[in-house]
Structure 1
Amino acid sequence: MDSSSVIDCHSNTNGVHLGIQKLRDANSNLLSPGNLVRHHTQSVFKSLCKLLNPPPETLGAAALALHYANVIIVIEKLATSPHLIGLDARDDLFNMLPRHVRATLREKLKPYTKTTVYDTSLAEEWTEAMSSILEWLAPLAHNMIRWQSERSFEQHSFVSRTNVLLVQTLYFANQEKIEETITELLVGLNYVWRYSRELNEKALAECSSFRVDNENLNLN
């Protein structure tokens, strides 16, 4: 073996050693406590971002979570006193609905538009059904409003005061199912409202009849 071969071999060996040393240095830097913590934090952050990214079929993805929360809260308030619902409040609630939900609601209400006499037992069933639905749906709506309020507070005060988790809201709720549920609530509310109006009209008619009878008795 000549001297040039020995030199080439030596230089190649040095190159290999240098490459190994660089790899060791890189690994030692990567595996240092600070880098490990940073790497773990980034991984956790990426995982959280994926979890907070709503699937396409949810209200969060459609940017409707807050809007439907307001709709549900209005329904909840009206359902407590259906006999006090005025035409303006009824129209306002209807106008809060997206166009496709309004179209679905119209179709659902068609069988009831021909009804002139409303059944007491059916009105009670609708009242019970609405109460059961709102028992689990209303808290999600209120949490949605509360979560949004807390986010707004944090943006203005730079102080974190998170008391509601996003999973406790309507954010990840399935849009189609929530819209079906809201439609069902409105069908029930419409029936109970019409039943209440019928009772009020009967009561007023009886009062008027009683007043007329008394006036006739006084004339006699």
Structure 2
Amino acid sequence: MHLLKFLAKISTKYEQLYNKGADVPVAITGFNQAPQASSFLGKAGVVLDTLRSSMINLGSRGYGITILAFEVANTIAKGANLLQTLSKENIRFLKEEILHSEGVQQLVSQDVEELLCIAAADKRKEFDVFSREVVRFGNICKDPQWHNLGRFFKRFDSDLIVHRQFREEAERTMQELTTLAQHTSELYHELNALDRSVQHSRRKLEEVESLLLSQRGESLKKLRSEIKHRRIVVRNLKKKSLWSKSMDQVMEKLVDIFILIHQAISEAFGHNGLTVSVNDKMERLGVAGLASHYAKTITQIDDIVFHATSLPPNMRDTLYNGLPSSVKTVLCSWVRRAGYAEELTVPQIKVEMEVTLQWLVPVAKNTIIAHQGIGSIGEWANTGLCKIHIMTRRSFSVPFLFHSKDFGKMTGTHSSLIRLQTLYHADKQKMDMCILELLMLLHRLIGRVRFGDITIKSPTQRG
């Protein structure tokens, strides 16, 4: 009956939305203050794992979320990031730029419709992860109307058109949640800082006691003052963050975000990706768990090309020892059969390699960044970036990560990585061929550096 009650509530919302002039209580604008949670002094990273099970009932069934605040904030971050990738600017960038980029066309497919289906399927999988987490939080709510939300989510009408007024309310709700998650991120850092101060104070006190010194020293006074200040900061952040909110209060907002993201996916992709069928004959690197390995190989090749005239002794050995087995097997026979009908100079070889490396290296670096991940508890709070293009020898996109100071800022175009910008969907056979061709050129490059052209510098050398 609780599911029917919830569906009736949703239905009432939509009736109010379509009724001109009616009040629209789509999102709660404020939270009632929950009882203050007890002090939390243990190291956040350890306590998250050790206390989670024991705190789950106290922390969510009508009381403050407490220890689950970091998990909830992580889910909010996923939802906000997903919603950002579905913005009109990002979808336009996907369709006009990413799907037609050389890396995607060379390694994944030249069929734009197939690529669009792949991108849509990826977004739907991300949405499914977000939805499952919302369902899990709903099941530990005190109010039974939030239990078993999975049934409602599965039956949600894919053709449902969300009214503009609801969208505006839901977007404000998203901003409210990201603000709460921002304070939760700050709380995470402050808890760790407080723990470090407490541990340092204990060690200092033990040292003083062992030396029979006075406990009124300036250093101990300073530490005690610092701890007192940090406890006040932690106490205030608990009140401002998800820590002191009840799961029931947060759930209605999360359901609104579910509806908002669902509609955004429908608008961006229609029915694409619902029954996507990628060519099964192709072995994709991500599915095979090889994307990160191949990305590392590509960056190593690029480093060797850059340091060709001053190559460290072990750099080439490290590359060859770490080559994918399928590449290593073919490489030996290729080298033995290689002919040198046309002797190229060092700059000429570098220019030829640059043609491929120019588009391949950014994709590899995107893959490495994506594999660093921000999904585990607390890990998202340690990221030091919000939205930035890191300028190295090659510039490349970085994912939209949240920092405590910039959690709610989601402006800008194509600020989030998608799988098509990495090696995840790359065809393994095409990737092997690409790396083999680069390795053959690298073999010739190292030979030329050894026996001549040592002093010649490539005109395309990156500084």
TM-score (norm: length of structure 1): 0.62
Q: Does 1:193 align with 2:446?
A: yes
Shift of 1:164: 1.4
Q: Which moved more, 1:136-145 or 1:102-111?
A: 102-111
Q: Does 1:178 align with 2:431?
A: yes
The CA deviation string for residues 176-213 of structure 1, in whole angstroms up to 9 with x for no partner, is: 001110111111011011100002799xxxxxxxxxxx
Aligned to 2:422: 169
Counterparts in 2 of 1:67 and 1:201: CA distance versus 1, 3 Å:
closer
How far did 1:66 drift?
A: 0.7
What is the aligned-residue identity percentage? 24
> Are residues 88 and 169 of structure 1, via their aligned partners in 2, closer, same or farther at CA, if it must alter by over 3 Å?
same
Q: Could you tell me how far apart the structure 1 residues matched to 2:312 and 2:448 are?
A: 14
- Give yes or no for the alignment of 1:119 onto 2:343: yes
Q: Which amino acid aligns with 1:198?
A: F
Instruction: Find the aligned partners of 1:95 and 1:49 in 2 and give their Cα distance.
Output: 41
| CA root-mean-square deviation | 4.0
1:130 counterpart letter in structure 2 = M
Distance 1:85 1:54 in 2: 41
CA shift, 1:91, in A, is 1.6
Q: Distance in 2 between matches of 1:118 and 1:86?
A: 28
Q: CA deviation at 1:119?
A: 2.6
1:142 is the counterpart of 2:365 = yes
What CA distance in whole angstroms lies between the structure 2 residues aligned with 1:61 and 1:54? 13
CA distance in 2: counterparts of 1:199 and 1:90, whole angstroms: 19
> What do the CA deviations read for 1:41-87 (whole angstroms, capped 9, x no partner)?
68969976866x99652111111001100110111111112122345
1:181–1:130 distance in 2 versus 1, CA, 3 Å: same
Amino acid at match of 1:144: T
**Conserved in 2, the CA contact under 8 Å of 1:76 and 1:134?**
yes
CA contact 1:118–1:195 (8 Å) conserved in 2: no
- Residue 83 of structure 1 corresponds to which residue in structure 2? 309
Residue aligning to 2:295: 69
Match of 1:110 among 311, 336, 339: 336
Q: Secondary structure at the match of 1:142?
A: helix
1:154 aligned to 2:360? no
1:69-111: CA deviations, max 9, x gaps?
0110111111112122345221211111122211111111113
Q: Which amino acid in 2 is paired with 1:106?
A: C
Matched position secondary structure for 2:314:
helix
Check whether the contact 1:118–1:194 (CA below 8 A) recurs between aligned residues: no
Matches of 1:100 and 1:128 in 2, distance apart? 27
Q: How big is the shift at 1:165?
A: 1.3
Give the whole-Å Cα distance in 1 for the aligned partners of 2:446 and 2:284.
31
On the 8 A contact 2:366/2:417 being kept in 1, the answer is yes
Query: 5+ unaligned residues in a row in structure 2: which ranges?
Result: 15-151, 159-258, 382-399, 402-414, 456-463
Q: 1:201 to 1:188 in 2, by over 3 A?
A: closer
Does the CA contact (< 8 Å) of 1:65 and 1:170 recur in 2?
Answer: yes
Report the 3-state secondary structure (helix = DSSP H, G, I; strand = E; otherwise coil) of the residue aligned with 2:423. coil
* Contact 2:309–2:454 (CA under 8 A) maintained in structure 1: no
Aligned 8 A contact 1:54 1:171 in 2: no
Number of equivalent positions: 170
| Whole-Å separation in 1 of the counterparts to 2:433 and 2:319 | 16
State whether residues 54 and 60 of structure 1, in contact with CA within 8 Å, keep that contact through their aligned partners in structure 2: no
TM-score, normalised to structure 2, is 0.32
Q: Residue in 2 aligned with 1:216?
A: none
| 8 A contact 2:293–2:324 mirrored in 1 | no
